[in-house]
Amino acid sequence: MPQGCPCGSKYRYTECCKPLHDGAPAATAEALMRSRYSAYALCLVPYLLDSWHRSTRPALGLDDLDPATRWLGLRIVDHAIDAGDPEAATVEFIARFRVGGGSARRLHERSRFRRVDGRWQYLDGEILKPA
Ligand SMILES: [Zn+2]
């Protein structure tokens, strides 16, 4: 997918994750999740920090992103708004990646998001065991 968005959607980057990277608010937690995956693929550290909830945001630097990591694909498994709180959502996803010349690995995570002042932010995540 040479000109597809890094998040693996059917859209071009300029019509998918780039507007979010340029500052547009994500319409849903899933859209934010996709844009954060793309940001990892493109090493957009400032965006990763901006989209991280203040309470859990790490002191992330470019050095914390391994340039040998290649992000191979993203699959959204589930996206749900919390029953009692429309400002909270969870997104379950599987991201595939490869480090250097190693074999492809999977990150299966259920992430929690919160909307703060109209902007979805990543709160934290739980790694799920491979099936
Ligand atoms: Zn995208």
CA 102 / ligand 1 centre spacing (Å): 25
Is 98 within a domain?
yes
Q: Assess if residue 85 is contained within a domain.
A: yes
Contacts from 53-58 at CB under 8 Å and sequence distance 24+?
A: 53/114, 53/116, 53/121, 53/122, 53/123, 53/124, 54/116, 54/121, 55/123, 56/122, 56/123, 56/124
CATH number of the domain that residue 112 is part of: 3.10.450.50
Q: Residue 4 falls within a domain, yes or no?
A: no
Interval between CA 5 and ligand 1 midpoint (Å): 5
CA 73 to chain centre: 11
Residue 3 lies in a domain: no
* Protein residues near ligand 1, an ion, with CB under 5 A: 5, 7, 9, 16-17, 34
Res. 1: pLDDT tops 50: no
Average pLDDT over residues 107-128: 97
Q: How far is the CA of 36 from the centre of ligand 1 (A)?
A: 9
Q: List beta partners, residue 71.
A: 97
Per residue in 22-78, pLDDT tens? 999 999 999 999 999 999 999 999 999 999 999 999 998 888 888 889 999 999 999
Averaged pLDDT, 90-110: 95
Q: Distance between CA atoms of 50 and 15, rounded to whole angstroms? A: 20
Residue 1 maps to a domain: no
Residue 7 within a domain = no
